[in-house]
Every structure is written in C-alpha cells, then in structure tokens.
Structure 1
Amino acid sequence: MNAASAEAPSEDRWIPLADVSDLPIESLAAETSGVLGRSLRQVLDGLADTDGVISAFGSFVAED
C-alpha cells in the first residue's frame, strides 16, 4: 500500500473553492442557478427555522 504524499499529483481532478469573501451575502443567496446560492439559502433558511438543527444547537449552547 502506498502512502499519499503532498508532492504526488492526484489522479482525481478537483476544482478549488471559489473565493466569495468580498461578495455580499444577499447577492450570493439571490443566485438561483448555482449550487452556491442554493446551498447558502438552505443554511440561511435553517437559521430561521425554530425547529431546525442549527436553531436547536444555538438554544443548547450557553451564551456567556
């Protein structure tokens, strides 16, 4: 079995993550065709869902 090394190129082709740190959240969430916009809307909707996992965790963790 061969160990993977940082110098060896991967056989799988990967696409780096997009840098969206300079873009406003509203414009990213408004994107309807891209996976980034859909994913962001799911996260934002999850924050507003009082019965959701993210809200339940926020209620569980103390705010000291």
Structure 2
Amino acid sequence: MFRIIFDPKTSRFVVQIIKWGLFWHTCLNDGEPMRFETYIEARHWVNSIGLTSAFLEQDQKAVYS
C-alpha cells in the first residue's frame, strides 16, 4: 500500500509505502527523501514508475472520515 502526503516540516509532498503492514516508509532517492512541489508532480511520479500497478493506494476517505 502507498500514500501521498503533505509534509508540513518541508512544505512538500512525499510518497510513502507501508512496511511490514505497520510502518510508513518514505521513498528515497540516493538516501534523500523524494520531495515534490505539488501533489500532481507526486502523482505523475507514482504513475510513471508503475507504483499504482504494484501497490494499492491508501483510501483517504477511510482515513479522514
């Protein structure tokens, strides 16, 4: 499962993947977190690497309702 969230510390969007069914792990590039200026950029990256084909996306409605 993966999710795209807004990180208020950096004012950027990050992509996270669930690890061991319990912990969220931020996607890294050369040891640095992948950060995106906009949600659209993050969504484009997720689609371009095929993450949507390999993992389910967290249902935001279930989280915030």
TM over 0.5: no
Which one has the bigger strand percentage?
2
- Greater RCO (CA < 8 Å, at least 6 residues apart): 2
TM-score by length of 2: 0.28
